[in-house]
Structure formats: structure tokens, C-alpha cells
Amino acid sequence: MQLGYRSVSIDLHGNEYLALQGANDKFLALQGPVRTSKGRITRQFKSTQIFHSLAPNNILEGISIKSNEDYTTAVFAYENVGEMKNFLSVIDPHLQYSNGKKLGRAIALLHQDTLSGKQKDKAEARRDTIHNKLTKYLTKGPRFNHETPILTAIIDRIDSLNDYKLTRRYGGLRFDNVFLTQSGSVILKPSASYGYGDAIEDLVLFECEDAGQMPCAVAGVIDGYFGGVTVPANFWVGYAIYSAIYALTRCSEHARKSQKEQARMVAQSKRILMDFENFTRPIPRWYRSNLVKKAKAEARRLGI
């Protein structure tokens, strides 16, 4: 069968999503070089097999994966998709909020699976990984000049932090890792970083990467996750602590890559610190802002 194709998206690792069309069939493919991407794409394909049954309308359906001498290609059932982040950047705040809610509801579906005893043990062991990342920040750096209130917040609370909800994490969730279909449904891009841990970790990257530019959309994600009911206080406490940890560990990891990335990560880390008012309050100030309140009110008025 002769296939035609068009490029849909290129991810942060240089791998490409392609829409493929033959005489009778359509597919969405993820393709990258064997030498650098075979392991990643294989794991991404596996993620769709794990999560598709939990959220079939929000996870691509895996069809096949194969490699030749040059490329690894994972093929999925076709969806007419575009980048969600691009769409969010050009719409009004109340529409950002309502689309964020769609994504929050999809994430909640992924977290509905019940873990076995061994899986819970693996989720609890995630704490060791987090502690190791903190140790690496302190010993390897680069360390941030504004670290003191962040470290204080972590040290004072991490030992008493209870798991909010042990789950199978999807991993890597932020707006540039989400597609939007032509009909307005959200499709999560296949994940290479899934695993077990606390559900909050699947929401905290939105604070790190997206809250500064799109607070209404991130507020929608959180409200959608909780189905429109009041967000529990223990979630906000955990969210603040994980945000503090990411403000040092994740930002420092990315800062090692280049001077440009270091400047971006210092700014990110400082913004997170300000969002939680030097970590004196667990609910970020953007969630409490008038902008978000107005966006919520308008979304409710329109019934979206």
C-alpha cells in the first residue's frame, strides 16, 4: 500500500509524529532514529498499551512497532490532532480554563486503576528517587541563590508528607505533551516516563512549565481532576511540597544543559517560589487570582 504522510509534530527529542494515509486506512506514527530513540519510542508505545483501557478517548491506540536499520516507528490508530499548547495560546482565558478541565478529567481516569501490593511498594519506593534527586542537587548542583526558603519548606515538611494517592503515573504531563483533536478532545502523547508514585507528580509539571504563562488552563486541569468539587487541603499541601522539590531538583537538572537553559530554569524556580509566597502558603497565588476567578465564572456562565 502506498502511504502519503504529513508532519504533525516534532517532540523535544527530535522524534516526529506523522499522519499516514493510504488508500483505505489512516494512521498516526511516531518515528525516530534507531541509535538514539529505539528505547524511548518502544517505551512510549508500551505506555499506550498500559493506559488505553483506562482512558480510551484520551490515549492513542497502539497498532504496531518495528525498527529497520535506520528508524524505529510506532504506529497508532489515526486521530486528526494538533498541538494543544498552540491552541491554548490563542484563545480567551475562560476557554483555556474549560480545555484545561478536559485534560484534568483525562488524568483522573488514568489514576483510577487499583494497584496491587507489589505495585504499591514500587510507588512508595519512588520516595527514594526523590530523596536521591535532592541529594544530587545539594552535591552536584548547580545550586540557586534563592534556595533557602525552598529548602526550608522541604526540610520542615518532607518527613511528614503522606502520599496523597499512590498510582501508576503517566509521567511528563504538561501542555506541550498533549494533542487536541479536531473535535476538541484531548489526547495525551505517549509517555516514556511512566511509573509508580504519587498522583501529584502527574500534576506538578504544570506548575513548573505552564502556570506562569497559562494559569487559567492549569487551574482548569486541577479543577477538572477533582470533578468540580473543592480541591482537598491535603492535596494542596502535597502540591506545594512537590513544587518546592521540583523548583530545585528538576530546574537544576535542566540548568546543567546550557547557559540559556540555566537562565530559563533560574527564572522558573524563582517564579515557583513567588507562586507559593516563599512557601508560606500551600495554594499558589495564580489559582487565587482574579484572572482565574473571572475565567471560572465565565466558563460556568457559558456551561463549558
Q: What is the pLDDT of residues 113-165, one digit of tens each?
A: 889 999 999 999 998 999 999 999 999 999 999 999 999 999 988 776 677 89
Domain check: are 144 and 195 in the same one? Answer: yes
Domain check: are 48 and 99 in the same one? Answer: no
Domain check: are 74 and 112 in the same one? Answer: no
Domain check: are 137 and 269 in the same one? Answer: yes
Q: Which of 79, 107, 122 is the last residue of a domain?
A: 79
The residue range of the domain holding 128 is 83-302
**pLDDT given for residue 1 in this prediction:** 46
Q: What CATH number does residue 72 fall under?
A: 3.30.200.20
Domain count, the chain: 2
More confident residue, 281 or 79: 281
Domain check: are 38 and 177 in the same one? Answer: no
Q: Which of 79, 105, 133 is the last residue of a domain?
A: 79
Domain check: are 74 and 87 in the same one? Answer: no
Q: How large a percentage of the chain has pLDDT more than 70?
A: 97
Domain check: are 134 and 261 in the same one? Answer: yes
Q: Nearest Cα to 98, choosing from 200, 1, 191, 185?
A: 185
Domain check: are 56 and 119 in the same one? Answer: no
Domain check: are 222 and 101 in the same one? Answer: yes
Q: What CATH number does residue 224 fall under?
A: 3.90.1200.10
Domain check: are 67 and 173 in the same one? Answer: no
Q: What is the pLDDT of residues 210-252, one digit of tens each?
A: 999 999 999 999 999 999 899 999 999 999 999 999 999 999 9
Domain check: are 147 and 176 in the same one? Answer: yes
**pLDDT given for residue 24 in this prediction:** 63
Q: Which of 79, 114, 146 is the last residue of a domain?
A: 79
